[in-house]
Structure 1
């Protein structure tokens, strides 16, 4: 599952932020799309969260392991239903992803990956610039792209504005950010509808973000 297509080498976008094009083979992508469809079926389904200021996210989301809501984690859904378990498959995938991006596996005493957010972008969905700051662990964030290509905007740790770098993430691409880039602002200003590989039978973009909550 972790063999890079065409031997594409990792690209360091910023210190600690690495893009690995084509990391997931086509069959692995199709398998993850099938799993995402299963994970997004009840009890939580796909939710568009309401932000503290009243805006509603255009990206639909489901959580595994821990339920994320702006800006906290809980073990249960708002109605008290337990969150679906974090799949061992994704924990193993995250470790292999970090190894592929950095050339070495996570330290033996590193916090285990235990939460995943599955985000669905339709043609009109966007993600504003934000930091992933709800985790106590400094473990790198692992991001997998499936389906439509997107423009991923990776910024700096101080502000939502420039300097930032726009990276095109295609289906099967891996992006890992940790170390000095762990708290960098990032977002998705647009997707490119209709660019998903036909084999996936997917209209839109799925993003699986795997994290270690810590403590």
Structure 2
């Protein structure tokens, strides 16, 4: 049985739509390399961690979390056991195809009332699960390596992607503290990361993300448009047929 993070039948049946906040969809764009020795969707397990700058203030830390991936996934399953994955609804009434949950002091939520951070899980009425120590360790280490020492994440949004699901171009701007970076950890199936500029009309570049890669962006790129292209079919020994993404933010 593939080691998928559990998701219930209702979530599996969710329609394959992932609207951005203004309904825009990610567009094809020029490709980034994402590799040093010919890898694209093959997991480059034979390579040591390395860095790929993608924009001012933005870097991909290749394989930065590979050594901690098993511990990250184990901790993620514990979070899901307390705060199950769910498909949020946008203020416009559309259901997101990517399943989500949170841990930490704050959780990102969306419903008819809008997008916001909430200290309470609306599904249970209880606080979100505490952020696991391994999450904090990886997020802080990645931020420091990318040039953002002292990062203190207060929220971790966990996204689970199945083949065909995507995240359309958007900006992360619900945080009160825009001085802190975004740290995003990829686990499981590979994906194509879409990274643009500060305007939706700016050129969008495409970067493959592999198991254990960490994207960090802040400073002049903090409000860059970004997203994930539709996930390709595949199987990864750590997660089966899914991709897990952990995104860390300082909310205030």
Q: TM-score, normalised by structure 2?
A: 0.75
Please identify, of 171-180 and 74-83, the stretch whose mean Cα deviation from structure 2 is larger. 74-83
2:74 alignment counterpart = 34
Query: Using a 3 Å threshold, how does the CA distance of structure 1 residues 88 and 67 change in structure 2: closer, same or farther?
Result: same
Residues 16 and 177 of structure 1 are in contact (CA less than 8 Å); yes or no, is this contact kept in structure 2?
A: yes
Q: CA deviation at 1:5?
A: 6.7
Q: Which has the larger displacement, 129-138 or 143-152?
A: 129-138
- Contact 2:72 2:134 (8 Å CA) reproduced: no
SS in 1 for 2:245: strand
1:99 aligns with 2:144: yes
CA distance 1:18–1:57, change in 2 (3 Å): same
Q: Distance in 2 between matches of 1:24 and 1:62?
A: 20
8 Å CA contact 2:164, 2:233 repeated in 1: no
| CA deviation vs aligned residue, 1:26-84 (integer Å, no higher than 9, x gap) | x5212211221221113x30011000111111000111111211310111122422211
Structure 1 position 124, deviation (Å): 2.1
Preserved contact between residue 5 and residue 22 of structure 1 (Cα < 8 Å)? no
- What is the distance in 2 between the residues matched to 1:10 and 1:195? 26
Aligned match of 1:24 = 65
Q: Does residue 183 of structure 2 align to residue 142 of structure 1?
A: yes
Q: Select which of 117, 120, 132 maps to 1:87.
A: 132
1:10, distance to aligned residue in structure 2 (A): 1.0
The 5-angstrom pairing of residues 145-164 of structure 1 reads 145-159=186-200, 161-164=201-204
How many pairs does the alignment contain? 201
Name the SS of the counterpart of 1:32 in structure 2. helix
Aligned to 1:72: 116
Structure 2: state its 5+ residue gaps. Answer: 1-44
Q: How does 1:162-173 map to 2 (within 5 A)?
A: 162-173=202-213
Q: Match of 1:132?
A: 172
Instruction: Normalising by structure 1, report the TM-score.
Output: 0.87
Among 208, 211, 214, the residue aligned to 2:249: 211
RMSD (CA atoms):
1.8
Distance 2:153 2:49 in 1: 26
Judging by fraction of residues, say which structure has more helix.
Answer: 1
The reply on whether 1:178 has 2:178 as its aligned counterpart is no
